[in-house]
Amino acid sequence: MFRCKYCKSVDKFELMFAPSYNGNRNFSQHYNNRNQIEISVDGYAFVPSLDFMNEHAVCKYCGQTYTWEYEFENERRKRKWEKTEDKITN
Ligand SMILES: [Zn+2]
């Protein structure tokens, strides 16, 4: 998970693209078998890195770019993942 340094929102990977991104912006996400979120952008699948986020993702809460840091709050992350998994499977 990534957190915005400006507004402290935790990204839920409802990805918004930086204005300089040139692709078609077809975006989807799922969890792989290691319980990592995997993102597909224009047919290219990857586990998002901090570099990717800072190059391509805009914070949808405050509109800032280059604002991401890792969020290592394990309990919160676990709870969110369980919630997300419920949504996916149900
Ligand atoms: Zn923000």
Question: Which residues neighbour ligand 1 (ion) by CB within 5 Å?
Answer: 4, 6-7, 9, 59, 61-62
- Distance of CA 84 from the midpoint of ligand 1 (Å): 21
CB 52 within 8 A of CB 46: yes
Q: Which residues of the chain have pLDDT under 50?
A: 73-75
Identify the pLDDT of residue 75: 45
Model-wide pTM > 0.85: no
- Distance of CA 79 from the midpoint of ligand 1 (Å): 21
Quick one: how far is CA 47 from the chain centroid? 9
- Distance of CA 4 from the midpoint of ligand 1 (Å): 5
Identify the pLDDT of residue 76: 54
Identify the pLDDT of residue 86: 57
Identify the pLDDT of residue 20: 83
Q: Which two tokens stand for residue 86?
A: 């419920």
Q: Where do the DSSP E strands lie in the chain?
A: 2-4, 16-17, 27-31, 37-41, 44-46, 57-58, 68-70
